[in-house]
Structure 1
């Protein structure tokens, strides 16, 4: 019969502030803080002259045994340990929590000098535990620069790159982090190595690390110059479009489309997207974010041509027209208006009419009131009537059949 195991909680005062393990030989610094002897010796021998817990400069590095605490720990251990042969449940010390703040400081210093996977993994676990831990890491020195430097180094194993990206993704929401990353990567002209590491993760990393990498990229694309420089570097557009085409992971695809929407600010970037087949891929999954992306691409002639040449696109947009949010409906109307009224594509007009598009456009026109969307709806109805002799209002249940442009 297997004996039952009971876990006991260790009093926090018995744990070393550095290792978080029960202290075997507690010693106190002149600041009054007690540590396990082996942990504080390692700290001081590493060249530090401060108390790890308080960061006070030490006037003396001497420490003295804390005999009282040592006796209390021994008494606690004896009372918590059952004699051999006992039939009572076996007591086990509860697993120590994530690394301490002091240990996190030591790991960050180690990461600054070498891209150690183990150190990065432990820091990633630390920042994922709580918002307080994330704030602590952000307040610690140049944490953003230290982690970003891992991605700027050469010949770093991909696991270390993934851990660095995970840490950055976790601390992005903290005050000032996005701005510091933008300055570190772009103003220092070191984006090439950084983006090369990101592309490597996008090509060979896990699904989670790919999603995190894209969120990090999105966070540093803060202005038109940074958006342009990021999008035009390292063949990034083709890599991202390939990601959209080759996987069906919704969080990853959402992150990719959001990023591409954010950086598609120049004719060159839009052309790259269109040439890499973005329109066809977006047409296969007309989410609200996809509609936003199509609304951006239809602003240039190549985009309107690509949308017109894809028979599924216009039909899918009409089908989704009244099933999405107000903003997405406006994007859908803009795309239809661009290909039907600007490009005047007769085949697209026929597809819109076949999908009961006239009735749906009238519904949108009625609820929009005055504004650009209503004007585009009016233009669309006129274009559809002029281009299709056999157009009729469909059977869609609505009270808007009296509306005429």
Structure 2
């Protein structure tokens, strides 16, 4: 297929540059030497391989990253995968675009030359050297340069990430954190900012960022840093806890960590930081933590239950899922359930979320309701169960079993229906015939 551009002239150009036969649909063929041999499209960033064949950079990089070690045209084995910018062809293509601009052809921009792994090795070496000398100013400047490279293109990001940069930055963070948080605050926050652009971390990077000094430093930034610093700190903490659960107990032991995480929810910086904080708290209150019961009690004392319920009233899907996950974890302890019982929003909000938004939200909602009903005292049993019935729990649970759900959620829903059933006598209930046309999801 011959690649062409078509330009339909607007009415105001009808009298200008019109071809002799009056046809307003103009076709311009791309010269063969301007087309990439792989895509047959106009090259925007022509590069030449060691075999002497020129390709568009994006296409040949995709070819090589797929595991191919040969030149697509000559089928020769590549002695090196290095690509050399073909400035002559690129300039010719740009001139051709300018000459044909009347046909709607736009001049291709001069591409930024992507970094090479040798440049990455060099800057990594300089960062490590500056770290050893304790030169925070030079290290901060180098990290800022790395950030600029990463933001230029995905290709740069991959090259930087997979050539030891994350490990070097993590080691530098640990070294400066060990020395002094206050003295090196600038470079520490700059490193965190760069690390958030290169998630997830490798194992070696995790070991440095999960050190005692590094964790204490991130908590300090959560409490004392500026808005961007606090955002970056919680993003890195969330990533660490998701990759290695051993960091959960270490973070839980740091004074001020829980308070800083709750503050990010109470005084939100941005949705990204709120989600990261909720996820971090979720790991802290999960069974993965050996001191989860103690942690849950602390969060209850900070008023997290009421805060979560307020968030759940009107929040987007992702935040809602995370908030319900945290509430489910907190309701696993007696203090958490007591706080939930005493809040008038708990049962109506939780029941409302069943079969709304997503399957995960339904699972968390049923789990929370089951914990509240299963563990209540006899003197309060009627009140909570009747309230759940009044806001439509029985009907929603029946519907949930009809459409299908996970095995654990099905067990909880079935047990909840048994607990609710004795109190239905004086309350209106939807007849089962209303569900006869529902289709199962399995």
Q: If the length of structure 1 is used for normalisation, what is the TM-score?
A: 0.66
Deviation at 1:240, TM superposition (A): 0.6
The match for 1:66 is none
Structure 1 stretches of at least 4 aligned residues deviating more than 6 Å after TM superposition: 94-99
Q: Is the 8 A contact 2:402 2:435 kept in 1?
A: no
Deviation at 1:333, TM superposition (A): 0.4
Deviation at 1:315, TM superposition (A): 0.9
Q: Is the 8 A contact 1:110 1:119 kept in 2?
A: no
SS in 1 for 2:428: coil
The match for 1:8 is none
Kindly tell me: are residues 251 and 220 of structure 1, through their superposed partners in 2, closer, same or farther at Cα, counting changes over 3 Å? Answer: closer
Q: Using the alignment, how far apart are the partners of 1:322 and 1:272 within structure 2?
A: 31
Q: Is the 8 A contact 1:203 1:239 kept in 2?
A: yes
Map Cα deviations across residues 149-189 of structure 1 (whole Å, 9 max, x no partner): 23333033433222111222233325xx2x22343355xxx
SS in 1 for 2:136: coil
Q: Is the 8 A contact 1:137 1:143 kept in 2?
A: no
1:148-187 matches, cutoff 5 A: 148-154=174-180, 155-173=182-200, 177=202, 179-186=203-210
Q: Using the alignment, how far apart are the partners of 1:370 and 1:134 within structure 2?
A: 42
Q: Is the 8 A contact 1:384 1:391 kept in 2?
A: no
Kindly tell me: are residues 98 and 153 of structure 1, through their superposed partners in 2, closer, same or farther at Cα, counting changes over 3 Å? Answer: farther
The match for 1:214 is 234
Q: Using the alignment, how far apart are the partners of 1:248 and 1:141 within structure 2?
A: 28
The match for 1:379 is 415
Map Cα deviations across residues 239-285 of structure 1 (whole Å, 9 max, x no partner): 11122112262211111111111232321122222221211111112
Which residues of structure 2 form unaligned runs of 5+?
1-45, 48-109, 313-319
SS in 1 for 2:164: helix
Deviation at 1:335, TM superposition (A): 0.5
Which of 269, 281, 284 lines up with 2:310 in the alignment? 284
Q: If the length of structure 2 is used for normalisation, what is the TM-score?
A: 0.61
Q: Is the 8 A contact 2:192 2:229 kept in 1?
A: yes
Kindly tell me: are residues 145 and 347 of structure 1, through their superposed partners in 2, closer, same or farther at Cα, counting changes over 3 Å? Answer: same
Q: Is the 8 A contact 2:195 2:236 kept in 1?
A: yes
The match for 2:158 is 132
Kindly tell me: are residues 115 and 324 of structure 1, through their superposed partners in 2, closer, same or farther at Cα, counting changes over 3 Å? Answer: same
Q: Using the alignment, how far apart are the partners of 1:219 and 1:294 within structure 2?
A: 21
Deviation at 1:106, TM superposition (A): 2.7
Q: Is the 8 A contact 2:347 2:369 kept in 1?
A: yes
The match for 2:255 is 234
The match for 1:268 is 294
SS in 2 for 1:311: coil
The match for 2:82 is none
Q: Is the 8 A contact 1:363 1:398 kept in 2?
A: no
Which of 390, 404, 423 lines up with 1:368 in the alignment? 404
SS in 2 for 1:285: helix
Deviation at 1:107, TM superposition (A): 4.2
Q: Using the alignment, how far apart are the partners of 1:106 and 1:248 within structure 2?
A: 34
Which of 311, 318, 332 lines up with 2:344 in the alignment? 311
The match for 1:42 is none
Q: Using the alignment, how far apart are the partners of 1:159 and 1:390 within structure 2?
A: 66
Q: Is 1:331 matched with 2:358?
A: no
Which residues of structure 1 form unaligned runs of 5+?
1-10, 13-93
Q: Using the alignment, how far apart are the partners of 2:425 and 2:274 within structure 1?
A: 41
SS in 2 for 1:233: coil
The match for 1:106 is 126
Deviation at 1:96, TM superposition (A): 7.6
Which of 388, 391, 395 lines up with 1:359 in the alignment? 395
SS in 1 for 2:356: coil
Q: Is the 8 A contact 1:151 1:164 kept in 2?
A: no
